[in-house]
Amino acid sequence: MNAFNPKQQVDTVQFALTAAGIGTWDVYLQEDKITIDDLSRKLIGFTPDEPVTNNVLLDKIYAHDQQRLIDAFNKALMRKADYAVDIKFRTTGGKRWLRIQGRSFQDDDGRPLRFSGIVSDASAEMKVGEEMYVAESLAALALDGADTGSFSIDLTTNAFRFSPSLAYLLTGDADPKATRDIFIRHIHPGDIPVRDAAYQRAEQTGIVSYEARFVWKDNSVHWIKTKGKYFYDLSGRAITFSGIAQDISHEVAARKEQQKLLSLVEHSSDLIVVTDLDTVFTYINKAGLELLGFDSAEDARTKRFVSLFDQEYLPLFTNEVLPSLLSNGKWQGQQWLRNRITGELIPFGVDAFRLDSPMNGRPIAFACVAKDLRAQLAAKAELERSERRFRSLIEEAPIATALYVGKELIIEVANEQMLRLWNKDRAILGSPLSSITGELQRNESLKILMAQFSSGLAYHSNETRAELIVDGKPQIFYFNVTYKPLFNASGEVYAILNMAVDITEQVLNRNRILETQRTLESAVNIANLATWELRPLENIFNPSDRMKTWMGYDPSETITLEQAMATIPDREKVEQATQLALNPNGNGVLDVDYHIVNTRTGKLLVMHSRGQAFFNSDNKAYLLVGTTQDITLQRELEVALEAEVAERTEELAASNEELTASNEELAALNEEFSAMNEELQEANENLLRSNQELEQYAYVASHDLQEPLRKIRIYSDMLGQQPNLTEQHLKLVAKIDQSAQRMSMLIKDLLDFSRLLETGGMVEKVDLNKVLQNVTNDFELVIDDKKAKVIIGELPVVEAVRLQMNQLFYNLLGNALKFIRPEVKPLIEVYARLVKAADLGPVSGLLSRARFYYEISVKDNGIGFEQKYADQVFQVFKRLHASAAYPGSGIGLAMCKRIVMNHGGDLKVFSMPGEGTTFRIILPVLV
């Protein structure tokens, strides 16, 4: 067996196209290059050595057709289609018509790469069309001039043209804006089936003829006879439908219509003759004289029609045609007649009928209308050649291809690739598609195919799953499937072209890759890792969203390598580690610890990154990918633990030295402890009495003091509503009410302050993130009103009284929103960090001796105050600002101080006038 030769196959296809009179061409859009074969050069008008460029090509095209051709190609670039270009145009001089068919090909991004297609000579087809158009125009002119309606429908565009007389005949109103639908609505309801039946017959005969009643706008009824005909191009495709309408309501009108029809017959392009019973010509129209080679009508009247038949076809006329005419009155079929001058044997489609005497009904003549079938048969032959080429293309197609004909989906053609998919041989050709496998029924392919007969739209399906039997076992395959409907000359779908590309391996590989990616992403998320990639040759850095957040960038924004490196204080260390990994002489591994500073919060984080470099064939690193982990807390704990170990070591040494002295002092301490226990017992008794007194005060404040104040406010309101009070009196009443309100607020705050001592068993784990979320929700309207911005970092979970923690942060945020600068938008920031006890600095008053503490900062950009007043702000009733400007009782910060001290911590404040205030909350980490 000979080896496969692609060039030989291409040459064979090219020879077949050339033999069919079809040239090929390609336009490469990215390279601005045009290639055409020799036949295309000849058809377009290029000389053998003439270059093919855009400008030269345009010069070869008729000037009036150039822009139309350019517009067609531009339109094809804007959409995907199987045949994006199908247009006829003339070459320079306008003598030759060419037909261009082609389509555009796009890359994966949808950008057009090239045009490819074919070119053929359409001169004969266009000549037939032009002659048909001239004949139709003359007929329409004759009809309009004779007060008869005419119409024409361009089946390629559905454009409907009609004469004004047609509108009048059908509706009684010569409205030039009438439409075909309007005319149809004027048909008498009882005659609509007659019209429908006529159009059904026309599907086989190409001729529409019916008589029906039309109801005019004045409700009068008129009998109209309508006759029309389909006209076809060389390919057999119907391109126009033209006809006439006649009013046959009166006998006079019928005679006039007969005369008009006679005129139409005379100018008809078909052969129309009348002979006597001996077949001697008594009438022949102009077209008949030319087709049969007669000099004149007088010359024809001396000849017999039967003398024009070729000897091979004469028996058909004598043995079938004449007997049928005499017995049935008509005959229809194909006959061959010879031109008397050229001797050419011409095929005709003949409609012959017998003419009977109106007086006695006896036969008196024969008549026939014969259509020249040369163009039609040539088109049919070309169609058969095209079908043979089409079948050959299917057989040689590199992908699985099959052709299903008719609504029964008969398998007419199937190449070897498709037969292998079906696990069938050529014996199934000619069988219905539904008979070869039940799987097609289950995956609804038949339903999709049947729907295309009504929709006429191509169907494309990507990655269609199918279960096929291979070696007796079911296997799963994936295909890119296309079902393309094919149309006949009547514009109806007569077949479906099926193409299937096996992409099973690609789908399975992609699914394996996706599964691996999902597994990797899950592992990265569980480990709280960030991912990144560096492309050093393009200087591109792509970090994950988590990495961007650590650096202080928005996950949606794109950052450069320089922006990323700008967040690293020890940048030189990272750059050295990266260069070492990118060195082709190394192992390509990156492993480095470093710091980054969050660009938004300023927070310093410790990072650990690992990565692997990949090198190209030139031994250059083109990719470095890796992961990064936030080890800030881990590093802080390591450092704290190391310091704690060192400290404990030093303390142990000192303890050994002091142990001896401590033993000596122990006896003395025991004596002191006895005295201290007695003093502690006395202090506890005093504290108990103090708590009882405070509870009594709380009762008085909540009951006895509140009631007089309530009555004062009621009486001041009643006094303010008294008539005839002067403005001065009203001001005094308002001051009384304001003083009562302040007194009530003061009593309430004192009561709250006293209750801070009652913690009971309310200590629990409290998530400060949730506490701050609730507090900001309480202040939502105030925040929106003052257009404040509140930034809350990650806060710890502490052992505390939930209600007191809520009161603490409620007071601090309330102060920050109260003491604002009018010209500055309020900014409140809340952050926390873990610190060692030794690193707290000058902090006193701690009731806890924990090893670690949480330092929580509440910072604002408000009015601030002098730092010398830092201790006074925590005193009860101490105020630094006038109550008129900033209302309050002066107890809020004292309550905050008490709450923090209740939890074994401390509260400090740092402030500067005009720059803002920072409250520093110190709470122990209880283990």
Q: Tokens 């052969």, residue?
A: 271
Residue 647, phi then psi, degrees to nearest 5: -65, -45
Mode of pairing for the β-strands spanning 827-836 and 789-792: parallel
Q: Which helix (H) or strand (E) holds 571?
A: helix 571-582
| DSSP letter (8 states) at residue 61 | B
Quickly count: other Cβ atoms within 10 Å of residue 796's Cβ. 15
Distances (CA, A) of 194 to 183, 213, 400, 771, 780: 15, 10, 47, 86, 79
CB burial of residue 922 (10 Å; 0-12, 13-18, 19+): buried
What φ, ψ does residue 152 adopt, rounded to 5°? -150, 135
Residue 884 pLDDT: 46
Q: Please state, in angstroms and rounded to a whole number, the distance separating the CA atoms of residues 346 and 291.
A: 8
618 or 745, higher pLDDT: 618
The pair of structure tokens assigned to 553 is 């960038």
Q: What is the pLDDT of residues 330-342, one digit of tens each?
A: 888 888 888 888 8
User: Crossing angle of helices 6-19/374-396, nearest 10°?
Assistant: 170
pLDDT digits (tens, 9 = 90+) for 19-67: 667 888 888 877 778 888 888 888 888 887 888 887 778 888 888 888 8
Quick one: fold of 268-376? Beta-Lactamase (3.30.450)
Alpha carbon distance 670, 498 (integer Å): 104
Confidence grade of residue 796 (pLDDT, cut at 50, 70, 90): very high
What mean pLDDT is predicted for residues 740-745?
Answer: 63
Helix (H, G, I), strand (E, B) or coil at 862: coil
C-alpha 130/C-alpha 728 separation (Å) is 108
pLDDT value at position 305?
Answer: 82
Give the pLDDT score at 838: 79
What per-residue confidence (pLDDT) applies to 398? 73
Whether the CB-CB separation of 582 and 624 falls below 8 Å is answered with: yes
What's the pLDDT band for 882 if we cut at 50, 70, 90?
very low
Residue 440 has pLDDT above 50, yes or no: no
Q: What is the mean pLDDT of the chain?
A: 79
Tell which residue, 870, 779, 894, 886, has the closest CA to residue 828.
779
Written out in words, the top-level CATH class of the domain with range 124-253 is: alpha beta
516 vs 883, which has greater pLDDT?
Answer: 516
CB 233 within 8 A of CB 239: yes
Residue 742: pLDDT over 60: no
Average pLDDT over residues 543-570: 89
- Give the pLDDT score at 189: 92
Query: Collapsing DSSP states into helix, strand and coil, what is residue 257?
Result: helix
Which run of H or of E encompasses 265? helix 251-267
Domain segments of the chain: what residues? Answer: 17-121, 124-253, 268-376, 397-508, 527-630, 638-751, 759-924
Grade residue 1 by pLDDT with cuts at 50, 70 and 90.
Answer: very low
Spatial separation of the C-alpha atoms in residues 484 and 459, rounded to whole Å: 6
pLDDT of the residue at 132? 58
pLDDT in tens, 171-210: 888 888 888 888 889 999 998 999 999 989 988 888 999 8
Q: Give the CA angle between residues 347, 292, 203 to the nearest 5°.
A: 40
Mean pLDDT of 310-333: 84
- For residue 253, how many other CB atoms are within 10 A of its CB? 16
Contact 301, 281 (CB under 8 A): yes
Asked whether residue 526 carries a pLDDT value surpassing 80, the answer given is no
Mean pLDDT calculated for residue range 540-565: 89
pLDDT value, residue 636:
77
Q: pLDDT tens-digit profile of 166-180?
A: 888 888 888 888 888
- Residue 830's pLDDT band (boundaries 50, 70, 90)? very high
DSSP 284-324: E-HHHHHHHT-S-HHHHTTSBGGGGB-TTTHHHIIIIIHHH
pLDDT at 197: 92
814 to 75, 238, 429, 631, 876: CA distances (angstroms): 66, 85, 87, 36, 17
Question: pLDDT exceeding 90 applies to what percent of the chain?
Answer: 11
DSSP secondary structure letters along 384-403: HHHHHHHHHHHHH-SSEEEE
Question: Which phi-psi region, left, alpha or beta, contains residue 97 (left: φ > 0; alpha: ψ -120 to 50)?
Answer: beta
Q: Which of 131-135, 383-387, 483-487 has the highest mean pLDDT?
A: 483-487
The verdict on pTM exceeding 0.85 is no
Work out whether strand 149-154 and strand 112-121 pair parallel, antiparallel, or are unpaired. unpaired
Architecture of domain 397-508: 2-Layer Sandwich (3.30)
DSSP 838: G
> Strand, helix or coil at 336?
strand
Identity of residue 354: R
Q: Which pLDDT band, with edges at 50, 70 and 90, does 311 fall under?
A: confident
- Which of 1.10.8.60, 3.30.230.10, 3.30.230.70, 3.30.565.10 is the CATH number of 759-924? 3.30.565.10
Name which residue leads in pLDDT, 694 or 226.
226
Residues ≥6 apart with Cβ < 8 Å to 151: 160, 161, 162, 163, 166, 180, 228, 242, 243, 244, 245
Lowest-confidence range among 269-273, 388-392, 473-477, 594-598? 388-392
Let me know: does 905 contact 848? Beta carbons within 8 Å.
Answer: yes
Looking at residue 829, what is its pLDDT? 95
**Domain 17-121 shares a fold with domain 397-508:** yes
Q: Give the residue from 164, 148, 170, 151 showing the smallest Cα distance to 217.
A: 170
Q: Could you tell me which CATH number the domain at 17-121 has?
A: 3.30.450.20
What residues contact 489, with CB distance under 8 A and at least 6 apart? Answer: 232, 235, 236, 237, 238
Mind listing the pLDDT tens digit for each residue in 464-485? 777 776 666 777 888 888 888 8
pLDDT score, position 857: 94
The pLDDT assigned to 730 comes to 78
pLDDT for 563-614, tens place per residue?
A: 889 999 998 999 998 999 899 888 889 999 999 999 888 888 999 999 999 9
pLDDT (0 to 100) of residue 135? 54
Asked whether the beta carbons of 239 and 133 are under 8 A apart, the reply is: no
pLDDT at 441 (0 to 100): 44
Note the pLDDT tens digit of each residue in 679-717.
656 655 665 565 555 555 555 555 556 666 666 777 677
Continuous H helices in 700-787: 706-720, 727-755, 768-778, 780-786
Q: Above 80 in pLDDT, residue 358?
A: no
So what's the pLDDT on residue 4?
46
Distance between terminal CA atoms of the chain? 86
Please tell me the distance from the alpha carbon of residue 751 to that of residue 822, in angstroms, as a whole number. Answer: 33
Residue 91 DSSP label: B
* pLDDT tens digits, one per residue of 81-131: 444 678 888 888 777 888 888 887 777 777 777 888 888 888 877 776 666
Is domain 527-630 classified as CATH 3.30.450.20? yes
Are 210 and 226 within 8 A, CB to CB? Answer: yes
CA distances from residue 24 to 14, 36, 311, 541 in whole angstroms, order as listed:
8, 6, 44, 48
Which 3-state string (H, E, C) describes 466-530?
Answer: EEEEECCEEEEEEEEEEEEEEECCCCCEEEEEEEEEECHHHHHHHHHHHHHHHHHHHHHHHCCEE
